[in-house]
Structure 1
Amino acid sequence: MPGPVLEICVADNPSLEAAITGGANRIELCSALELGGLTPTPGLLRVAASSPIPVYAMVRPRSGDFVFSEADRAVMLAEIDAIAEAGLAGVVLGASLPDGSLDTETLGHLAERARAHQLGTTLHRAFDLVPDIAEAVEAASALGFERILTSGRAARAIDGVGDIALAHQCAQGRLAIMAGSGIAPDVVRAIRSRAPLDEWHASCGTSQPQSAAAVSLGFTAPERRSTEVESVKALRRALDALVR
């Protein structure tokens, strides 16, 4: 029996290599993880295209919330085109209305463009802003998403496990529910005991302090995270142990 799927979120080439070496099954490719992840650069897309495992790229053209304008939508459609042209396997999408519910109109346009390119689709943690879990799962299923990434509307998945379990129940196998945020070897068994998930998302990152001068001039956040191969291996072992 194959082990659970481990998706690692990375924002640079060394982290990509560490995730693959550590045993990831899939990559979420971003830039600017300190902002929650933005669309990766063209160069990183091209490098990631040679990955031996599937790579899904974030489609998020700016920082801030997930309430996107018509101008934002036009950029996102172009980004989906670029991701397909680079040869990646899928895209990671999300869009909200001002009340936090899913913007199904925008998501419909984005998902349709992705399908036109035969790209897989993940609904990202914009889902964690929704006021109604069941309604949002139904919408995601109707839009054809393969999976929903969620922390259960909490800062850490272990604290949102009740909502994660509810999302899994509502999904009824029509799409996967993937737990993310704070996923580490010491919490996966507790989450799995409440929600029998087969997909897990983590960065397995370590923080690297940045130049004080660069920080003072606004060039960077105080810390930058990068994936550590031994952390990926440890999480891989913990997930594999769930099915033994």
Structure 2
Amino acid sequence: MTSVHLEVCVDTIEGAWIAAENGADRIELCTALSEGGLTPSAGFMTAASRLPVPVFAMIRPRSGGFQYSDAEKTLMLRDIQTAEQAGLAGIAIGATSEQHELDSPFLSTALAGTKLPATLHRAFDTLRDPVAGVEEAVSLGFERILTSGQAEKAEQGLDVLESVASRASGRISIMAGSGVSEDNAARILKVSAVNELHASCSSPCAPLPSSAPEVHLGFLPSKGARLTNAIRVQALRTAIDQYLETAE
């Protein structure tokens, strides 16, 4: 393995710049990371297009599961066009059926309607058969799959990650995400043989007192928000580079 790309997911423009300037190879642009990431606004996409690294927009119209109504699918197709018009480098998208298989008809339409490359996001982790999901993602034309190995955290899903990476066999990139940090990056890379990592590299900011209006009115959690942390981005980048040096 000669390189490992680091993707950092962010939900603020400040966080996007912090990630880009401290070692991220690519940005996944979202809103509401606390909800797993939702589609960013058109203005946010346009601002992020000026970043010095590629930016992929999350295409997810709401929190919750990945079975979408026709109205939601129409919205997602429009959001893809917005990402393209904003000058972004790609999209992250996923949709499933009630049988926990990929919604191939919709995803085929979505990918055929744009020139942008696409990441299959963690909707993949809800699939009944992840190995079959790899084959379907390849046939649909996805560039990569973001997965935790169908576990809550990637470090707990190493067996599935290894199986998925083996099945991919260089035909599609496998990116491990969820709970990835400088402390476990080397283990995840060594055991699973994935070739990309995905992380928020965030840390909690100082909580506000419960009497603060933002907390009292429910706009902020009492424990405080999480923000992209430059030191954590740098540390994860260093951990990846050190792993590559020892693996040569």
TM-score (structure 1 length as normaliser): 0.94
Q: CA deviation at 1:100?
A: 2.3
Alignment-derived partner of residue 240 in structure 2: 239
- Which structure 2 residues correspond to residues 57-206 of structure 1 after superposition, within 5 A? 57-114=57-114, 118-206=115-203
Measured in 1, the distance between the counterparts of 2:66 and 2:226 equals: 23
Deviation beyond 4 Å, 4+ runs, structure 1? none
Percent identity over the alignment?
42
Per the alignment, do residues 156 and 15 of structure 1 end up closer, same or farther by CA in structure 2, a change over 3 Å counting? same
1:227 aligns with 2:228: yes
3-state SS of 1:9 partner: strand
Query: What letter is aligned with 1:143?
Result: L
Identify if the C-alpha distance between structure 1 residues 63 and 243 changes in structure 2 by more than 3 Å, giving closer, same or farther: same
- RMSD (Å) for aligned C-alpha atoms: 1.5
**Structure 1 residues 192, 88: CA separation in 2 closer, same or farther (over 3 Å shift)?**
same
Q: CA deviation at 1:220?
A: 4.2
1:46-79 per-position Cα deviation (integer Å, ceiling 9, x unaligned) = 1101111100000011122111010000000000
Residues 59-108 of structure 1 deviation map (CA, whole Å, 9 limit, x = unaligned) = 01112211101000000000001000000000000101123221112211
Q: Is the 8 A contact 2:201 2:229 kept in 1?
A: yes
CA distance in 2, matches of 1:210, 1:58: 29
| Pair 1:225–1:113, CA change in 2 (3 A) | farther
Q: CA deviation at 1:211?
A: 6.8
Per the normalisation by structure 2, the TM-score is 0.92
8 A Cα contact 2:161 2:194, kept in partner: no
C-alpha displacement at 1:177, in angstroms? 0.3
1:214: Cα distance to partner?
3.3
Unaligned runs of 5+ in 2: none
- Residue identity opposite 2:63 in structure 1: S
Look up the equivalent residue of 1:187 and give its one-letter code.
Answer: N
Aligned CA distance change for structure 1 residues 71 and 220 (closer, same or farther; 3 Å): farther
| CA shift for structure 1 position 24 | 0.6
Distance (whole Å) between structure 2 residues aligned to residue 160 and residue 178 of structure 1: 13
Deviations 1:188-212 (A, max 9, x none): 1211222222211001001233674
Distance (whole Å) between structure 2 residues aligned to residue 41 and residue 207 of structure 1: 24
Separation in 1 of the partners of 2:46 and 2:155? Answer: 35
Whole-Å separation in 1 of the counterparts to 2:119 and 2:190 = 24
